[in-house]
Amino acid sequence: MTETKFTKQHEWVRLEGEEAVVGITAHAAEQLGDVVFVELPELGKAVAQFKEAAVVESVKAASEVYAPLSGEISAVNEALVEEPAKVNESPEDAGWFLKIKPTNLDELAGLMDGAAYEAYLKELDQ
Amino acid sequence: MTSEKDIEQDPGAGEAVPEGTSEGASKAPEPGSGSDAGDATSELTEAKTDADAPDTGAETAEAAAPDEPEAALPDTEDETPQSADREGQDAPADDEASDEGDDESDSEGDEAGPEEEVERTRVTALYGLHQELGARFTAFAGYEMPLQFKAGILTEHKHTRAAASLFDVSHMGQAFIRLRDGGDHEEVAQALERLVPGDLVGLAPGRVRYTLLLNEQGGIVDDLLVTRPQGEENEGLLFLVVNASRKEVDFDMIDESLEDGIDLIPALDRSLLALQGPKAEAVLASLVPEVEAMRFLSATTARIGTMDCIISRTGYTGEDGFEISVRHPDAEPLARLLLGFDDVMPAGLGARDSLRLEAGLCLYGEDMDESTSPIEADLAWTIGRRRKESADFPGSKRILKELAEGPARVRVGLMSQGRVPARAGAKIQSSEGAEIGVVTSGCFGPTAERPVAMGFVQPSFAAPGTELNVEVRGRLHPVTVTELPFVPHQYKRTVSKASTDAA
């Protein structure tokens, strides 16, 4: 399945083979403003669903990025270290943060699909 | 991710302006500047009658007709022409009712009856313009202010240092202090000197002084700019600009301290704009040629079209620039006029904060508070020499003792070696692991291209070059004590002979 799923905390996740690619949504990136620093986890680190996996810093403040799925960190986007602005430029593609080897794919069921996320955003606007 | 977090951390427009980077020095209009004379008198007369009326209670309709510059001034109780009734989460209760004539602001909650306590957020006269420009707002000091515009904080910051940015700082407190029956500068200056350590008596006409309001414990109540206007008819008048978050506290304190016959008159009918950056002079000079002759920390009045402006060469960014005080109806026309220049972009409080931090300027409430002495804040230079000798300012005992023996803590600049920003509240450790201080403000510095911060450390760790660590998210990150400013100031301290002999 390559469908992108979304969390209430504005992360997106997409399965690519055995790994789940994770980033923050365009909405989140826009809210954050200019990203100046990204703190990525160590490879092999265990993460739990909805628990902190990474940190993204804007000029003014730090925000947490939560793991959409439980598992083990299998890759991180080194490009963000030198070019944190990639997160703003391409949040749902080149600005990906990390990859997880998921331990429980059932967790995907609890996440929103694209349409549900859009509806969720509308709700937040009110 | 937590998306709300960054919006809550307000940079704040609180100002502290060492070396006189001042915020909004203004002064009463002076005669001789075109037809300001009438305005000066009527403004002060109007203001005087409101001296006893605090800014609560009834509002009038909008400020006077903008096309009648010499018309009688509006009731200065009217806080802004566009106060909106909004239910703001962060806003303190505001006693002012909504402005009748307002139809431009976004007003929610108009149905709230008089008995209901609705939390109101104030807005400045430029609120509508901010919305038009696509601002993203944040609450600060009870106001809904632009955090950034479409360009974003990084771009707005860099643009300020490369060209010119326009900031709305109308939320700050502007006020006059005046001798009711006339009198000389010395008298009014001495009255205010009772609360500050600076030399105000020696302030020359048309000059601005950065100073501090002190409490009896020698702690800083606020930092502010004091201007002595030019012109004989303004003798005995002072103009003040204070921090937005402190204006009520400040004005109460000053008011109580002033004796009979001297009045504090909040300038509630005025907005304040800051034009900052290397291109600011060229832009403003095309409208007001005389600004070329102004040096840093001077002030004058001038007319732009029909707009009466009080212009000072001051700012809060470390760049050359100006702060312009105008009456509310003129704020938007002036802002649009300035934004019409190619070099000028709007900038919000986010960029304002990163700029001032790189410039090593304090933010009241973050880098200093009522417990902080001028010595701890590294602002000993604000104590005038005569004042030091007479020790005639509040808390002089403690302050002079710290001056002689050293304070318990001192403000320093900290530059990160890595990329992790250290933010307010982060603990500072010595290389041995002892906790020796705390960060008071920090952010990523777009011009410095690395995180910059200020904090308090024990004096033995305050020497530039000292290697320390800050604790961020449970890990230690190296920082180096750095002399302030992180980015050199660009103040225009001298004017070429060709420009003038005035100022």
Nearest CA in chain B to A63: B2
Q: Which residues contact B132 (CB under 8 A, 6 or more apart)?
A: none
Count residue pairs from A and B with Cβ separation < 8 A. 84
Please report which helix (H) or strand (E) contains residue A99, including its range: strand A98-102
Q: How far is A76 from chain B (nearest CA, A)?
A: 17
Dihedral, CA atoms, B155, B158, B161, B162, nearest 10 degrees?
Answer: -80
Contact A61 B148 (CB under 8 A): no
Within a 13 Å sphere around the CA of B269, how many CA atoms are in the beta-carbon half?
Answer: 28
Nearest in space to B411 (alpha carbons), one of B364, B379, B442, B382: B379
CA–CA separation, A54 and B299 (whole Å): 50
* Phi, psi of B290, rounded to the nearest 5 degrees: -65, -15
Reply yes or no on whether the pLDDT at A51 is more than 80. Answer: yes
The predicted structure's pLDDT at residue B107: 40
Q: Say whether residue B423 is in contact with chain A using an 8 A CB cutoff.
A: yes
Query: Could you give the C-alpha distances from B69 to A35, B60, B305, in angstroms and in order?
Result: 46, 19, 10
Contact B443 A65 (CB under 8 A): no
Q: CA gyration radius for chain B? A: 22
What separation, in Å, do the N-terminal and C-terminal C-alpha atoms of chain B show? 53
Quick check: B48 and B236 in contact, CB under 8 A? no
- Residue in A10, A27, A58 closest to B6 by CB: A58
Quick check: B212 and B254 in contact, CB under 8 A? no
Quick check: A43 and A74 in contact, CB under 8 A? yes
What residue ranges in B277-431 does DSSP mark as E strands?
A: 299-304, 307-312, 321-327, 344-346, 410-416, 427-429
Prior bond of B333 cis (ω within 30°): no
The predicted structure's pLDDT at residue B47: 41
Q: Say whether residue B444 is in contact with chain A using an 8 A CB cutoff.
A: yes
Contacts of A37 in chain B (CB under 8 A): 419-421, 444, 451
- B12 or A52, higher pLDDT: A52
Nearest in space to B330 (alpha carbons), one of B47, B124, B27, B26: B124
Q: How far is A50 from chain B (nearest CA, A)?
A: 9
Q: Say whether residue B442 is in contact with chain A using an 8 A CB cutoff.
A: no
Contacts of B476 in chain A (CB under 8 A): none
The whole-angstrom distance between residue B483's C-alpha and the CA centroid of its chain comes to 23
Q: Which two tokens stand for residue B495?
A: 């004017």
Q: Return the residue in A6, A56, A60, A83 with the most chain B beta carbons within 10 A, the one to mutate for interface testing.
A: A60
Query: Could you give the C-alpha distances from B415 to A28, B367, B419, B420, in angstroms and in order?
Result: 28, 16, 10, 10
Average pLDDT of chain A?
94
Rounded to two decimals, the pTM is 0.81
The predicted structure's pLDDT at residue A1: 53
| ipTM exceeds 0.90, yes or no | no
The strand pairing partners of B272, in sequence order, are B325
- Residue in B2, B4, B6 closest to A33 by CB: B6
Q: How far is B268 from chain A (nearest CA, A)?
A: 31
CA–CA separation, B19 and B17 (whole Å): 6
**Sign of the four-CA dihedral A82, A87, A92, A93:** negative
Using CB atoms within 10 A of its CB, is residue B370 exposed (0-12), middle (13-18) or buried (19+)? middle
Q: Return the residue in A59, A81, A120 with the most chain B beta carbons within 10 A, the one to mutate for interface testing.
A: A59
Contacts of B139 in chain A (CB under 8 A): none
Q: Which residues contact B112 (CB under 8 A, 6 or more apart)?
A: B85, B118
Q: Say whether residue B156 is in contact with chain A using an 8 A CB cutoff.
A: no
Contact A10 B354 (CB under 8 A): no
The predicted structure's pLDDT at residue B494: 86
The predicted structure's pLDDT at residue B88: 35
- Residue in B1, B421, B443 closest to A66 by CB: B1
Q: Say whether residue B140 is in contact with chain A using an 8 A CB cutoff.
A: no
Contact A66 B154 (CB under 8 A): no
Contact A9 B1 (CB under 8 A): yes
pLDDT in tens, chain B (503 residues): 764 433 333 343 333 333 333 333 333 333 333 333 333 333 433 443 443 333 333 333 333 333 333 333 333 343 444 434 343 333 333 333 333 333 333 344 444 445 544 467 899 999 999 999 999 999 999 999 999 999 999 999 999 999 999 999 999 999 999 999 888 999 999 999 999 999 999 999 999 999 999 999 999 999 999 999 999 989 999 999 999 999 999 999 999 999 999 999 999 999 999 999 999 999 999 999 999 999 999 999 999 999 999 999 999 999 999 999 999 999 999 999 999 999 999 999 999 999 999 999 999 999 999 999 999 999 999 999 999 999 999 999 999 999 999 999 999 999 998 889 999 999 999 999 999 999 999 999 999 999 999 999 999 999 999 999 999 989 999 999 999 999 999 999 987 665 555 44
The strand pairing partners of B298, in sequence order, are B207
Each residue's pLDDT tens digit, A93-116: 999 999 999 999 999 999 999 999
- Residue in A9, A37, A64 closest to B421 by CB: A37
Secondary structure percentages of chain B, helix, strand, coil, to 5: 25, 25, 50
A→B contacts (Cβ < 8 Å), by residue, are 9-11, 24, 27-28, 31-34, 36-37, 39, 55-66, 81, 88
CA–CA separation, B149 and B131 (whole Å): 9
Q: Say whether residue B353 is in contact with chain A using an 8 A CB cutoff.
A: yes
Q: Return the residue in B1, B149, B363, B441 with the most chain A beta carbons within 10 A, the one to mutate for interface testing.
A: B1
Quick check: B427 and B440 in contact, CB under 8 A? no
Long-range contacts of B399-406 (CB under 8 A, 24+ apart): B399/B197, B399/B214, B399/B218, B399/B373, B399/B374, B399/B375, B402/B218, B402/B373, B402/B375, B402/B376, B403/B375, B406/B459
The predicted structure's pLDDT at residue B496: 67
Quick check: B161 and B447 in contact, CB under 8 A? yes
* Phi, psi of B310, rounded to the nearest 5 degrees: -110, 120
